[in-house]
Amino acid sequence: MTKTLLSIIFIFIFIVTHISPTITKAVDPDEFLQDPKLELRARKISKNIRCLVCQNQSIDGSSATLAKDLRILIRNKIKKGYTNDEIYTFLTDRYGDFILLKPSFKLSTSALWSLPFIFLIFGIFVIFQLNKKSKKIIK
């Protein structure tokens, strides 16, 4: 009985934390552009822009005031005829590379891209060293 209850609780927590955020969108109806192609473009850009308040959430899914302002800013730039690259350049010039959820690889972001691999190699090395020591102790 307790295993069943724990399973149900686990499934409920999983659904609430993983599925419900994708269902609820923070974009207000008054923000939508009239042209569906332009709206799709704005949503695509918004999904790659980090909410500076929420940190690891895109502005497309954030209900923060700053995220709303950035969504409106992006839609205004699209209405004025800016390209996607011009919008990304404007935002990174203003807020830095941190605003991009998927920053491009360049010298200033090289540590961001290379450190996970360095830590992985270091972790594998440590595991092998500890494994060698434990085999010597057993013998």
For 96-134, how does the pLDDT look when each residue is reduced to its tens digit (9 = 90+)?
888 988 877 878 778 878 899 999 999 999 999 988 877
Helix (H) or strand (E) holding 19: none
pTM of the model: 0.62
At which residue do the structure tokens 């686990």 appear? 10
Confidence of residue 34 (pLDDT cuts 50, 70, 90): confident
Count the alpha carbons within 13 Å of 28 in the hemisphere toward its beta carbon: 11
